[in-house]
Amino acid sequence: MDKKSIEELKAKLLEISEFVAKLDPSMRAAAFEMLRLRYFGEKATQKPKDEDDNEQSNAGTETGKDAPTELADFIKAYEHKKPADNVLLLAAWLYSTYGVYPMTVKEIKELGDSCGLVIPGRPDNTMRQAKRNGKSLFNQQGKGWQPTVSGETSLKEAYKVKKGNKAIPKD
C-alpha cells in the first residue's frame, strides 16, 4: 500500500467515524459495519478460506468462532413476516450483545429504523403481550422491558443466541 492509498483510507475512516459518533451508542456498531461495506465494498469483508469454512459449519449459532455478532448479519439470518416478531428479533440481538437489562422502547424503535425492519408503533405492547407456554417473556422494569427467565430461554431457543456480556451503552 502506498502513501496515497493510506491517506485515502484514513480520510474515509475519519468521515465514517464523524457520522457514527453522532448516532445513538446502541446503533454505532451496526451503522459502522453498514457504512464500511458501502465505502470499501466486499473486498473489506473477505476472510481467509479456512475461516470461511468454519463460519459455514457454525452458521446461525452464537457459539461458533465467527458467529454473527453485528446487527446486520443477525437480521439477515432471520426473516419474519410479522412486525411483532421483528421486535423479538431485536430483543434477541440486544440480549445476545448485552445480556439481561431493561430494553427501552426508544432503543427498539431506533434499532428497527436503523436497519429497516418493520416494527409495530407500540413495541412496548408487543413485549407486554409476548408469551410462550403461558409465561410472559418480558417484565416491565421502570421505562424498559427486561427478559424474564422464560423469555431468556425462549430467545435462546428461537434465535440460537447466548447471553451477552458487553457493557450497556450510556445515552
Residue 34 covered by a domain: no
Tell me: the pLDDT tens digits for 4-56?
A: 888 888 888 888 888 888 887 777 777 777 777 777 764 434 343 344 444 43
* pTM assigned to the model: 0.61
Distance CA 171, CA 167 (A): 12
Tell me: the pLDDT tens digits for 129-170?
A: 999 999 999 999 999 999 999 999 999 999 999 999 988 877
Residue 31 covered by a domain: no
Residue 167 covered by a domain: no
Residue 164 covered by a domain: no
Residue 59 covered by a domain: yes
Do the Cβ atoms of 146 and 101 come closer than 8 Å?
A: yes
Distance of CA 104 to the CA centre of its chain: 15
C-alpha cell at 52: 470461511
Residue 40 covered by a domain: no
- Closest C-alpha to 45, from 66, 21, 65: 66
Instruction: Provide the 3-class DSSP secondary structure of residue 103.
Output: strand
Answer positive or negative: Cα dihedral of 33, 169, 154, 126: negative
Tell me: the pLDDT tens digits for 51-110?
A: 444 443 333 333 333 344 588 888 888 888 899 999 999 999 999 999 999 999 999 999
Residue 115 covered by a domain: yes
Answer positive or negative: Cα dihedral of 5, 6, 10, 11: negative
Residue 2 covered by a domain: no
Q: Residue 108: which residues within 8 A CB-CB, separation 6 or more?
A: 87, 90, 91, 119, 123
Instruction: Provide the 3-class DSSP secondary structure of residue 141.
Output: strand
Count how many domains the chain has: 1
Q: Domain range holding 111? A: 47-159
